[in-house]
Structures are given as structure tokens and as C-alpha cells.
């Protein structure tokens, strides 16, 4: 094929590539506009979309590699086409951003391949410009090469942050969703523990609570229920501490989890946190907790920007939520509703003749926030004759950063989980509950 013949076919090849690339982008955009609510039965659609994506990526990758050659003919035309390489870059980055998954493992190549294509295309484009710069002086060559260099670094950052996982308080960040994909395993009952334990004999402690109990931000074995089980097994015969914690669970959902659990317990351990009042306040007032503003598209889809955005808590949202909770504690109707919900758990335990132990968590960044409201709840438990462990009496001399998972996640750190678990064990071993 002569250069002239190749040049005649070049517009057709560009058009065909462009049509396939646009088809792939449209297939990826369909779930975005439908809020990713496509029926799960459309397996053929997903298979076709992914297959076509890999086909177009392989095609463009091959053409980019061919353009490394400086031979005559079609490859020379590819290597001299700056627009083609920049289209490859845009296509690769477009698929990368539109797909925006957080998965790891066998699905990670679906993210890395478009980035690799974008990087290779930038190298081709930069090499072409550098070669042209030697032949023809153009004042735009330098700035354009600088922009290509910045884009190259940006793609490297995007690829690098795909391997970064870091929990976030509300699981709002891409890194936090990746952390959950790697660390969060639930059994058929919906709890974060091995269901094989249910078949074992021995005394049983049923731990109710929210994400503080489930172990948001820490390994399963680092959660205070796991630490408590290890402590009790060192002091007694085999004791099973079952973690019935669920993210976002309040007293009502905790009672449902308790009733649905297939095994009877010898002790109920109820974990309480200040946001347990949310549901009661919403029920009596119709007011919902404040939500953060929606993110712009780039922060939603860019790994490094998303990571930086969620590295620190939003002070505006934090203040708004504190105001919400303060209003909740000031509402007598909300408190009474909350106490009724808590009493439902206590009544269930009393009917089953199961003792109850309560552990109260404050805001770990500042033990003094909403102090009076927390004291009110604590006093209610004491009035009901329930033993209470107040975490405010522990680790008060620690730096706030040592009590939490990270700056963007206010859940208990592994160190605080360990202290709480051991302290609960010390209380339990002085009681006749598990004897």
C-alpha cells in the first residue's frame, strides 16, 4: 500500500473508529442517565457493552503502538496524526471517568486499560510534537508539550489512586467504597461475622448497634465485639460474641435484628451513639438530618480530587448536623419517642430474662459535644436498672486523632475498639451473667 492509497483510506478509518468509540461511550452513559437502575436481567447488555469497550480499546491501543514505527505507509500517517492520538486520549479517559467503578481484583483492568491507552496516546502525541519542533519552529509547540506533560502526570495520579482505600464516615468517597469492597463481608443474616459460628455451642453475647459496633473503618477482628470475645474466652469457657451491628441502625432496627437472630442470647450488649436519636426526631418533627451538597462531576469521577475532597470533614455539614442533634435533644417529644424505642429493647430482654449491658459512645473528636443530652440518655438507662459503660470515662487524655479512624472518619480507631472491648470484658467477668 502506497502512502497515497493509505491517505485515501484514512478518513474512512477515522470515521469507523469514531463511530465505535461513540457507541461505547453511549453504552456507558445509559446507566448514568438512568441512575444506574437498569434491570439486573440485562446481562446481555452489560456483556455487549464490556466486549465492545475492550474491542475498541484494543483497536486504538494497537494503532497507537503501530504509530511508534516511523516506516512509510499507513503507520507513518498514524504517527503523523496528532488528532488521532488526542482522540485516543479523550476516549480512554472518557471510558475511565464514565464507568467510575470502585472495584478491585478481577475488574480492575477495566479501569487500568483506558488509562493505559490515554497514557500511550499522550506519549505518541508528545513524541510527534517534539519531532515536529525540531523540523519547524512553532511557538505553540512548547506550551502544548507542557500541557501534555501535565495530562500525563494526571493520568498517573488517577491510576495510582485506584489502589488507595480509605474509609469515610458516610462512605461517600470513592476510596471509602473501595475500602468497603475490600473489607466488608456480610453473612446471610446481614451481619459482619462468619455464620459458621452459629453452629457452635457455648454462651452467647448479642451485640446490638450501628456502624460503631459493626466496625466501620477497622478490620472485623479489630471491632470491640471481636476484642470482647477474645477477652472473655481467656477468662471463661467458650463464649461467642455475635456482632449484630448494622450501618445506620437505630433502636428500632436493632430490635428487629435481635428478634430475627436465630439463636438465643445469654447477654445483650447495646451500643448507643448520639445519632441514634435521628429517627425519633424525624418521626415527631418531620425534620431530616442535613445532607451535603452534591459534588461537581469532576470531583465525583476523579480519584485524586475525590480523595482530597473527602480527606477532611465538611465543617458546614458538621455544624448543621450538630444543630440538628441539639434540636433533637431539646425536643421533649423526640426524647420520649427515643426512650420508648429503647425501652422496647429492654422489655424484650426482660421478657426473655436476658441481662442488658449498655455502652455509650459520644462524639469521639470532642467528648464535650452534646454532653447534657448524652447524660440524659445515660440517666434513663440507669433509672431502668441497666449497667452502663460510658466511653467518655476512657481515653479522655488521648489526642482526638488517636480515638478515630482518620480525619474523614469519626468512627472508633482500632486502639479505642481494643480499650472498649477489654473494659466491657472486665465488667462482664464481675457479673454472674455468663456463669
Question: Helix (H, G, I), strand (E, B), or coil: what is residue 221?
Answer: helix
Please compute the mean of the pLDDT values over residues 33-47 and round it to a whole number: 56
Tell whether the model's pLDDT for residue 77 goes beyond 60.
Answer: no
Q: Which domain holds residue 303?
A: 190-429
Which of 140, 161, 182 is the endpoint of a domain? 161
Any domain includes 66: yes
User: What's phi and psi for 269, nearest 5 deg?
Assistant: -110, 115
Q: Cα(first)–Cα(last) distance of the chain, in Å? A: 89
pLDDT digits (tens, 9 = 90+) for 349-387: 999 999 999 999 999 999 999 999 999 999 999 999 999
Tell me how far apart the alpha carbons of residues 327 and 35 are, in angstroms, rounded to a whole number: 34
211 domain residue, yes or no: yes
Q: Is residue 218 part of a domain?
A: yes
Coil/strand/helix, residue 205:
strand
Contact yes or no for 103/74 (Cβ under 8 A): no
Per-residue cell: 294 = 452534591
Distance, CA of 161 to chain centre: 14
96 and 37 co-located in one domain = yes
Indicate the number of domains in the chain.
2
Using the structure block, give the residue that is written with the C-alpha cell 442533634. Answer: 325
> Is residue 156 domain-shared with residue 116, that is, in the same domain?
yes
390 in Cβ contact with 378 (< 8 Å): yes
26-38 mean pLDDT: 61
CATH code, 202: 3.40.50.1110
pLDDT level of residue 45 (50, 70, 90 thresholds): low
On whether both 25 and 71 belong to a single domain, the answer is yes
Domain match, 23 and 107 both: yes
- Tell me the β-bridge partners of 7: none
Neighbours of 3 (CB within 10 A): 12
In a domain, 184, yes or no: no
Grid coordinates in use for 158?
488517577
CA–CA dist 88, 140 (Å, integer): 21
My answer on whether 142 and 201 are in the same domain is: no
The single-letter DSSP state of residue 36 is T
185 within domain boundaries: no
82-99 helix and 3-33 helix, angle to the nearest 10 degrees: 20
Among 169, 260, 267, 153, which residue's Cα sits nearest to residue 212?
169
Is 170 inside any structural domain?
A: no
Q: Is the pLDDT of residue 276 over 70?
A: yes
Q: Tell me: the pLDDT tens digits for 5-26? A: 545 555 676 677 778 777 877 7
Q: 281 burial class (0-12, 13-18, 19+ CB within 10 angstroms)?
A: buried
Domain-located, residue 178:
no
* Whether residue 200 is found in the same domain as residue 148: no
Q: Note the Cα 182 to chain centre separation in Å.
A: 10
Do both 144 and 94 map to the same domain? yes
149 and 210 share one domain: no
> Sign of the CA dihedral 247, 252, 253, 257?
positive
Q: For residue 425, what are the CA distances in angstroms to 179, 224, 230, 362, 419?
A: 29, 10, 9, 20, 10
Tell me what pLDDT residue 74 has.
Answer: 47
370 and 278 within one domain:
yes
Q: What are the CB-based long-range contacts (under 8 Å, 24+) for 153-160?
A: 155/93, 155/115, 155/118, 155/119, 155/122, 156/119, 157/303, 157/304, 158/96, 158/115, 158/302, 158/303, 158/304, 159/112, 159/115, 159/119
CB 174 within 8 A of CB 214: no
Minimum mean pLDDT among 292-296, 378-382, 392-396: which range?
292-296
Question: Where does 100-223 have alpha helices with state H?
Answer: 109-135, 141-161, 174-183, 211-214
pLDDT value of residue 1: 44
Residues 146 and 216 in one domain: no
Task: Say whether both 36 and 97 belong to one domain.
Answer: yes
From the list 270, 246, 414, 416, the residue with the least C-alpha distance to 354 is: 270
Query: Do 263 and 149 belong to one domain?
Result: no
Q: Is residue 175 part of a domain?
A: no
Amino acid at each position: 500500500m502506497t502512502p497515497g492509497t493509505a491517505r485515501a483510506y484514512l478518513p474512512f478509518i477515522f470515521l469507523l473508529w469514531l463511530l465505535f468509540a461513540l457507541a461505547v461511550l453511549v453504552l456507558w452513559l445509559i446507566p448514568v442517565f438512568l441512575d444506574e437502575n437498569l434491570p439486573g436481567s440485562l446481562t446481555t447488555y452489560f456483556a455487549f457493552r464490556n466486549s465492545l469497550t475492550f474491542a475498541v480499546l484494543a483497536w486504538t491501543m494497537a494503532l497507537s503502538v503501530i504509530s511508534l514505527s516511523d516506516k512509510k505507509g499507513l503507520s507513518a500517517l498514524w504517527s503523523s496524526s496528532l488528532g488521532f492520538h488526542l482522540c485516543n486520549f479523550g476516549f480512554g479517559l472518557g471510558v475511565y471517568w464514565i464507568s467510575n467503578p470502585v472495584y478491585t481484583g478481577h475488574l480492575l483492568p477495566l479501569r487500568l486499560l483506558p488509562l493505559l491507552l490515554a497514557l500511550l496516546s499522550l506519549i505518541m502525541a508528545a513524541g510527534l510534537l517534539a519531532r515536529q519542533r525540531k523540523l519547524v519552529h512553532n511557538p505553540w509547540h512548547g506550551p502544548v508539550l507542557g500541557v501534555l506533560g501535565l495530562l500525563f502526570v494526571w493520568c498517573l495520579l488517577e491510576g495510582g489512586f485506584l489502589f488507595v482505600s480509605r474509609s469515610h464516615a458516610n462512605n461517600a468517597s470513592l476510596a471509602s467504597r473501595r475500602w468497603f469492597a475490600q473489607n466488608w463481608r456480610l453473612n446471610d443474616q446481614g451481619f459482619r461475622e462468619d455464620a459458621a459460628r452459629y453452629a457452635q455451642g457455648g454462651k452467647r453475647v448479642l451485640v446490638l448497634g450501628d456502624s460503631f459496633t459493626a466496625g466501620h473503618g477497622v478490620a472485623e477482628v479489630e471491632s470491640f465485639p471481636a476484642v470482647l470475645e477474645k477477652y472473655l474466652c481467656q477468662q471463661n469457657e467458650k463464649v461467642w460474641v455475635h456482632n449484630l451491628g448494622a450501618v445506620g441502625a437505630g433502636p428500632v432496627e436493632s430490635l428487629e435484628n435481635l428478634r430475627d437472630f436465630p439463636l438465643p442470647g445469654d447477654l445483650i450488649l447495646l451500643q448507643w451513639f448520639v445519632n441514634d436519636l435521628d429517627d425519633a426526631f424525624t418521626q415527631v418533627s418531620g425534620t431530616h438530618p442535613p445532607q451535603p451538597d452534591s459534588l461537581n462531576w469532576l470531583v465525583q469521577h476523579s480519584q485524586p480530587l475525590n480523595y482530597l475532597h473527602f480527606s477532611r470533614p465538611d465543617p458546614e455539614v458538621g455544624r448543621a448536623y450538630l444543630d440538628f442533634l441539639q434540636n433533637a435533644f431539646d425536643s421533649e417529644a423526640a426524647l420520649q419517642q427515643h426512650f420508648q424505642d429503647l425501652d422496647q429493647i429492654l422489655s424484650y430482654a426482660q421478657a426473655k430474662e436476658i441481662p442488658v449491658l449498655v455502652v455509650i459512645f459520644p462524639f469521639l473528636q470532642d467528648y464535650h459535644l452534646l454532653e447534657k443530652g448524652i447524660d440524659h440518655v445515660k440517666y434513663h438507662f440507669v433509672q431502668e436498672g441497666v449497667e452502663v459503660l460510658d466511653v467518655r470515662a476512657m481515653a479522655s487524655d488521648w489526642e482526638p486523632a488517636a480515638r478515630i479512624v482518620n480525619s474523614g472518619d469519626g468512627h472508633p480507631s482500632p486502639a479505642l475498639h481494643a480499650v472498649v472491648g477489654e473494659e466491657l470484658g472486665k465488667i462482664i467477668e464481675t457479673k454472674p451473667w455468663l456463669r
